[in-house]
Amino acid sequence: GAVVSQHPSRVICKSGTSVKIECRSLDFQATTMFWYRQFPKQSLMLMATSNEGSKATYEQGVEKDKFLINHASLTLSTLTVTSAHPEDSSFYICSAKYPIEQFFGPGTRLTVL
Amino acid sequence: GENVEQHPSTLSVQEGDSAVIKCTYSDSASNYFPWYKQELGKRPQLIIDIRSNVGEKKDQRIAVTLNKTAKHFSLHITETQPEDSAVYFCAASANDYKLSFGAGTTVTVRA
């Protein structure tokens, strides 16, 4: 149990375009999901906390207008990287809290050309 | 906010030997300390965790110790095997909320 999926697993886009990443809890409901970014050979950096039915809470230094988060249901949170640039290329990982443990999605590799 | 420091950044051990990774944290309110194993390009996997009401926890070849007074906790892997090679992250959180991760330790087990 407690499976989290992410889609897509890999995306390549042109600079200036927007990319949406979905995070789903498959067999449980998650009121809280988290979005992380991980650059090569670095740690997971929390970007924002996504709460179902309310606005996301962003960590210091993360632009909320660039990284749009929508947690529209108890099983789905989406992260949209708007006007992506090459420096946004990274591994984006979500996690869902159930009930107190965090379960991680498989990650999305974003490459911006 | 919480600051978690992790050492060493890389660790190479001979198969069968033990590996120890140490972490310190800054927020005295932190009460949950999980350890994750991450293989290249994969998701982090929880391998063991400990709460502040205990000082030690063991699961087969893996153990974690916690010293709340000193604000540090450690991961111990005994009888290491090649499949233990991965990046290991410690983390800390207060009241089961958001996790703050250490920088990671790349463990290489030499056959």
What is the secondary structure of chain A as a DSSP string?
---EEEE-SEEEE-TT--EEEEEEESSS--SEEEEEEE-TTS--EEEEEEETTS--EEPTT--TTTEEEEEEETTEEEEEE-S--GGG-EEEEEEEEETTEEEE---EEEEE-
Of residues B43, B98, B102, nearest to A104 (C-beta): B43
pLDDT given at position A4: 96
pLDDT given at position B32: 93
Tell me, yes or no, if B78 comes closer than 8 A to chain A by beta carbon: no
Tell me, yes or no, if A100 comes closer than 8 A to chain B by beta carbon: yes
pLDDT given at position B20: 98
pLDDT given at position A79: 97
Tell me, yes or no, if A1 comes closer than 8 A to chain B by beta carbon: no
Of residues B41, B46, B89, nearest to A44 (C-beta): B89
pLDDT given at position B52: 86
Which chain B residues are Cβ-neighbours of A43 within 8 angstroms? 89, 101-104
pLDDT given at position B47: 96
Which chain B residues are Cβ-neighbours of A104 within 8 angstroms? 43-45
Which chain B residues are Cβ-neighbours of A106 within 8 angstroms? 42-43
Along the 111 residues of chain B, how does pLDDT read in single tens digits? Answer: 889 999 999 999 999 999 999 999 999 999 999 999 999 999 999 999 999 888 999 999 999 999 999 999 999 999 999 999 999 999 999 977 889 999 999 999 999
pLDDT given at position B44: 95
pLDDT given at position A68: 96
Whether the ω angle into residue B8 lies within 30 degrees of 0, i.e. cis, is: yes
Where chain A has pLDDT below 70, the residues are 1
pLDDT given at position B97: 80
Tell me, yes or no, if B83 comes closer than 8 A to chain A by beta carbon: no
The DSSP call for residue B80 is -
Q: How far does the CA of residue A113 sit from the closest CA of chain B (Å)? A: 20
